Amino acid sequence: MRPKRSHHCSRCGHCVRRMDHHCPWINNCVGEDNHWLFLQLCFYTELLTCYALMFSFCHYYYFLPLKKHNLDLFVVRHELAIMRLAAFMGITMFVGITGLFYTQLIGIITDTTSIEKMSNCCEEISRPRKPWQQTFSEVFGTRWKILWFIPFRQRQPLRVPYHFANHV
C-alpha cells in the first residue's frame, strides 16, 4: 500500500514520501527526508555566488584603471575578458538558483510539491491550511528558526498534531 503524497521515481526506482523532484545535481530524489538539505544547498549556492560576484566586480573595477594605461598588454586585455565571462556566468547562475530557491520556498509555504503542482491535484483540496511556520518546521525538522540554516545537524521528524496527521 502506497503512503499518501508519495511517488515512485522512474530514475531511482524508489518510492519517495512527499517527492518534489529528481535532482540531477545531487543525483537523488528530493523528498521528505532530504528536502531541507536541498534548500540549504540552494541557499548557500546563492550566497556564495553573490560573494563571488561581489569580488569579481571589485576586481574588475580595480583592473579598469590599468586598462587605460596598459591597453596594449596581452595579459590585461585577456584577464578583463575572462572576468567579464566569469561575471556573466555568475549572474546567470545567480538568476537560475534564485528562481529555483523561490519556487521551492513557495512550495513549502503552500505545502505542495512540484509534482503536485504539475498534476494540479492539490487545488482546493479539503485539507486544512497550515501556517508557514509549521510547514517550514516540518521540512527542516525543528521549530528553532536559527537551526534551519545550520548544515551540520541531524533532522528529527516533528510530531504532527492529530488534525494534521490524516493527510500526511
Catalytic residue positions, numbered: 23
Neighbours of 18 (CB within 10 A): 22
Q: Return the number of other C-beta atoms located less than 10 Å from residue 5's C-beta.
A: 20
SS (H, E, C) the chain: CCCCCEEECCCCCCEEECCCEEECCCCEEECCCCHHHHHHHHHHHHHHHHHHHHHHHHHHHHHHHHHHHCCCCHHHHHHHHHHHHHHHHHHHHHHHHHHHHHHHHHHHHHCCCHHHHHHCCCCCCCCCCCCHHHHHHHHHCCCCHHHHHCCCCCCCCCCCCHHHHCCC
Find the distance separating the first CA and the last CA of the chain, reported in whole Å: 15
